[in-house]
Structure 1
């Protein structure tokens, strides 16, 4: 079992079960000595790993301890691990709620995101960075990440627990009228983005901001989240001017405004709003520096 670069642990487990052992997640987890883990911990494997759990997986698979951690958010967001530990200690249900833009820590998204081109190039390999709350564009193949299956039209409900059903991570796992959808993920529709435009440039800078360890720079994310909620109240012409898009493109966004916590369902709209908010933030900072 070999992790692919940047692969997310949860879907890697499903890929190994299906591709290597031709079995379900439940059988695979039991085989590597994790069958008795608490259901909350199994559902959170892609978010945080206890050292004992990482040791168990490493001993059974030969995957180095550090590389397992790199397949989760544990090493990237200390707040994620702290809050996860609190939920484990108190026996709470794992927080599957959709997070608001201003929330901390960066729990995984409830709704799965993916790049169809990436999955076409590396079948079944779902990248951990797609779980990032501030990622909405694939920077390798300039396009908005997909969130809906082109077959059933729904958000894919990715298996995370001890399911007894086999699942090919190349395909949609949703059940439709008693049968698995099984539509290939790489056929999903996602709009292209001009890599020379503001939308792409803003995404690059926002991701760099989220990776910064400077508290003052991290604070800019909260300001950016606030601006995203306010920038959508601008008229179409003002939003088009901020993003460099044609007014007709902005006017045709559906929905044009996003309710708190629902941004991930409408990444095309969020892409435009996030870019506009980032431009506003940058201009504001430039004016303050001049003053």
Structure 2
């Protein structure tokens, strides 16, 4: 299943995420995903595994034109010239000469002037053909409003935490109003175990409502949630390094959820964020330097 972005670029709706994938496991996971039929890989400079993503791609032996590669600029590389250089670091590590989608990893609102400058660098990269689409991640509606007022190109994508326990309807509405695709990180709730964040964690995968609907279709709760995302027009980036789960996560195109089932899943929303709050200042964390290629 593909989604056409607001600039006409076609993107596979489902991608493999590699957040918290150890570098030594990443290349095998990417190769397994591509063998299973994935054509969209999502990584980030801050994950420290772009080089291994590139190795997995080369191992799979696919033509570059068959792949959709998405990565993210980290906050320490924000600013106009630093962000242009961030593209160079990313492409060298991945072993490619262009990116399909490059996004800003965080709004970093306590230094938003650098965020704006970074986005203007993305606009330059887009105009020069070095990226095919640009976007943002973890932007709340007020961040988007500020960005849109100061820049020319509407983001193609806003990647945010989104799963049945945290559906962010206000963010989804703001994205839709500007024709920005909502892309879900932690689409099956894995972020409920985000290290060092939050004390009251709930395992979405163990939810009884999801389990009951999944049994009806002969699918797993993870497959159910991914189908829920795609049927509602979102992109989803499930993460796994297990070849069996990787293959299972893409096996979601042989069933369809009813309107009532979709509504039942929507109703699970708690409104409680499980990952970091994008408005929280984290200067030491954001200062993490991204190594050269």
TM-score, normalised with respect to structure 1: 0.27
Q: Which has the larger radius of gyration?
A: 1
TM-score relative to the length of structure 2: 0.27
Q: Larger RCO: Structure 1 or Structure 2 (Cα < 8 Å, ≥ 6 residues apart)?
A: 2
